[in-house]
Amino acid sequence: MNIDYRLAFEMAPVGLALSRNRTIMDCNQRLCDMFGATQEQLIGQSFLVLYPSVDEFERTGARITPILNRNGTYADDRIMRRMDGRFKGEPFWCHVTGRALNRDAPHEAGIWCFEDLSERRPVKAELTAREREVAAHLMQGLTSKQIGKTLEISHRTVEIYRARLMRKYKATNAGDLIHKLTAG
């Protein structure tokens, strides 16, 4: 059986991107549709154009480097931003999975998969960049101490962000917050 890999890349049910030094070298139509952009708008651009802020782009890059070095793969749920189209600027939850082609230089080249979670998990509250990071880690089941270590902030600072999230989502306890974050 002869497989047309280009056709498989284009027809994948998730967004796919090939990267070199955090720049989009190629992408499929599903990724373009997800972010409300054309291939011409994405190819050759930094992944920065898909993030809510420069700070989140930089912190994510720094956070994933040691994991890619160790495992060769990385995955998380994060809030991304639609680039163009009728939902331009809209934040949405996205599951991102990546594989470095060279573990020793993880950003050198890789393949990335993006799955739009907005149907299952809409963004209902206006969150700061740090609140989005804390929320993503809370949904992974991390404790305040673990989140603090990952984000390189004190666990008490994480507790402040958790309290803000509880207010914004009108949650009565940590379990209720996780439920509301997961539900949107």
- At 47-81, the pLDDT tens digits run 999 998 898 899 888 888 888 888 889 998 888 99
State the pLDDT confidence band at 142, using cuts at 50, 70 and 90.
confident
How would you write the chain as a 3-class SS string? Answer: CCCCHHHHHHHCCCEEEEEECCEEEEECHHHHHHHCCCHHHHCCCEHHHHCCCHHHHHHHHHHHHHHHHHHCEEEEEEEEECCCCCCCCCEEEEEEEEEECCCCCCCCCEEEEEEECCCCCCCCCCCCHHHHHHHHHHHCCCCHHHHHHHHCCCHHHHHHHHHHHHHHCCCCCHHHHHHHHHHC
pTM of the predicted protein model: 0.72
Average pLDDT of span 106-123: 88
The predicted model gives 29-56 an average pLDDT of 94
127 against 91, higher pLDDT = 91
- Judged against a pLDDT cut of 70, whether residue 183 lies above it is answered with no
> Quick check: 129 pLDDT over 80?
no
pLDDT at 2: 67
pLDDT at res. 177: 82
Query: Across all residues in the chain, what is the average pLDDT?
Result: 88
